[in-house]
Structure 1
Amino acid sequence: MPPIAVIDFETTGMAPAQGSRATEVAIVLIEGERVVDRFSSLMKTGAWIPPFITQLTGITNAMVAAAPPADEVMREAARFVGNAPMVAHNAAFDSKFWQSELHHAGLEATQPHAARPFACTVLLSRRVYPDAPSHKLGNLIDHLGLPRAGRAHRALADAEMAAALLARLQHDLGQRFGLGWPGHALLMQLQRCPRPAVERLLRQHALAVAPAG
């Protein structure tokens, strides 16, 4: 089965449109339930990190000042992802920083996956685990009994946990609906599906992929 790239950014703020920049990126490649590779790096953009962000992430201005330049990191990150489909927890956030940092690095035109759609484990978890008390990453990890990967709000730990959540989602969907191993295309369909129609969508998909006879 083809790998999926699960990505997480730590940043100086909430939105590139407001001037926020990335401070750290991590990508975990998974094939089914198995992690096959990892990439992570702090990145130097020249942007100032506010104290409340340092308190949240532990990432300081001194740490990013000593980090590789952001354009070098993004070149490596783009090579690492390659053609793998992408996933993030709260993908509306991470996908914007992915596109923005590729743009800042002058890579947007050379990277056809700059605007590639992301599957979102927040949206998916709301459909697969509607009774979870919270759909924040750490709370879902605890709710499902998955191991914590390290300090929250550091990119590699969050990407590891998002990858574990994705694999659990795919496993549970496959078991519940007889889907085999749900691929990225089905996950994209599912996250756009209204909640009342989720079961119908998945049962229709299971029938479509069932062997004839």
Structure 2
Amino acid sequence: MGDRAIEIGAVRIENGEVTESFQELMNPGFPISGFIADYTGITNDMLVDAPSCNDVMSRFADFIGDSNLLAHNASFDKRFLDAELNNISRQYYGKFSCSLLVARRIYQEAPNHKLGTLIKFKNIPSNGDFHRALYDSEMTAKLWLAMLDDISDQYDIPTVSFSLIQKLSKTPKKSVHRLLEKSGLS
């Protein structure tokens, strides 16, 4: 018995605004540990009547289609996404980016790059209810939009493309300024 997702949440961003959201609890088919319950606030009682992972993931796959996806610490989320989609014989064909990797490059002076710390660092209003899927998605979206604005303003890039962000996330920290300077209008 391997790890399974117990909740999935996402928001859709269009033209700099959150336009739609998706959130569901999922019954993994076995009890979750006390550690996970404490970490997420999700209890076994909450999951007992939740739909199966397969049912929820089918709806989620329809929701995301082939849209580009963003997550904070994306490699963790992508492993779960790929495994759950594989369980229902579906695949994701869009592109994935990681706000954690981007933040490490553009906010090098931040105390650390945990989502909650970055939200405080950027003075983004928050109630601190982290580790729930939809809330984390909403906060990641706000951080993402702040990062895009900061890059756009600092480097005179009118529209910061998803492909530029993907390239930025793989760029060594010492080369970030050069990459963004070359991408800007100046």
1:58 aligns with 2:41: yes
Give the Å deviation of 1:83. Answer: 2.1
Partner Cα distance (1:50, 1:154) in 2: 16
What TM-score, normalized by structure 1, do the two folds share?
0.83
Equivalent residue letter for 2:137: A
Unpaired runs of at least 5, structure 1: 1-17
Alignment of 1:1-213 (within 5 A): 19-107=2-90, 111-113=91-93, 116-148=94-126, 151-207=129-185
For residue 165 of structure 1, give the secondary structure of its aligned residue in structure 2.
helix
Partner Cα distance (2:88, 2:53) in 1: 7
Partner Cα distance (1:162, 1:149) in 2: 14
What CA RMSD, in Å, does the superposition of the two structures yield over aligned residues? 1.5
For residue 160 of structure 1, give the secondary structure of its aligned residue in structure 2.
helix
Give the Å deviation of 1:91. Answer: 0.3
For residue 6 of structure 2, give the secondary structure of its aligned residue in structure 1.
strand
1:156-195 superposed Cα distances (whole Å, 9 cap, x missing partner): 1111000000000001000100111212111100000001
Give the Å deviation of 1:150. Answer: 5.4
Q: Structure 1 vs Structure 2: percent identity of aligned residues?
A: 39
For residue 47 of structure 1, give the secondary structure of its aligned residue in structure 2.
coil
What TM-score, normalized by structure 2, do the two folds share?
0.94
1:2-31 superposed Cα distances (whole Å, 9 cap, x missing partner): xxxxxxxxxxxxxxxx81110000011112
